[in-house]
Amino acid sequence: MSGISLNDVVIAQAGIEPGTPVHHALEGRADVMEMTQATHDAALKPNDPGGLSHALRAALAARIARLNDDEALAEHYDGLVGEAGATEEITDIADPRAPAPSDGWLAAVVAYTDLVAARPRDTQAGDIKALKAAGVSDADIVRLSELNAFLAYQIRVIAGLKLMRGAK
């Protein structure tokens, strides 16, 4: 029996098949894959989502994936947006080409997410101040940062595994 689950998001998105050399290599790191999946679940569907609902988290994750040119991963998160019963405004957030939300709090969250996802080196203390000025709580700023950090990690792990198996 395999030490890794083919249902894990990273494994599925990377297209890792049982019996392949990459699959065997990952079996030796099953604990890392399990922790990665647990972190996915905690980042997207935490018991206490604070001000970042499950639907908003999924929409932001889809947006981050799209900003990083990973449409397949974005579609995974689109599915979670649908499962969460998102409003049209939240669903639109998943598409970086959609107009900015009209709500100031939500617009600040989206703008910060875009900056961190696309140009992380450009972030400054003023960006956190802008979130606070829009009414985003300290706890939600931490939650948003955790989501962004996890997606950065997940996207890179998936890309690396695809390279290992010879995919583009």
pLDDT in tens, the chain (168 residues): 346 665 689 888 999 888 888 888 888 888 888 898 899 999 999 999 999 999 999 999 999 999 999 999 999 999 999 999 999 999 999 999 999 999 999 999 999 999 999 999 999 999 999 999 999 999 999 999 999 999 999 999 999 999 998 865
The CATH number of the domain holding residue 127 is: 1.20.1290.10
Containing structural domain, residue 84? 9-166
Domain for residue 99, yes or no? Answer: yes
How far is 112 from 64, CA to CA, in rounded Å?
11
Domain for residue 2, yes or no? Answer: no
Contacts of 117 (CB under 8 A, 6+ apart): 63, 64, 67, 68, 148, 151, 152
Write down how long the chain is.
168
How far is 75 from 61, CA to CA, in rounded Å?
10
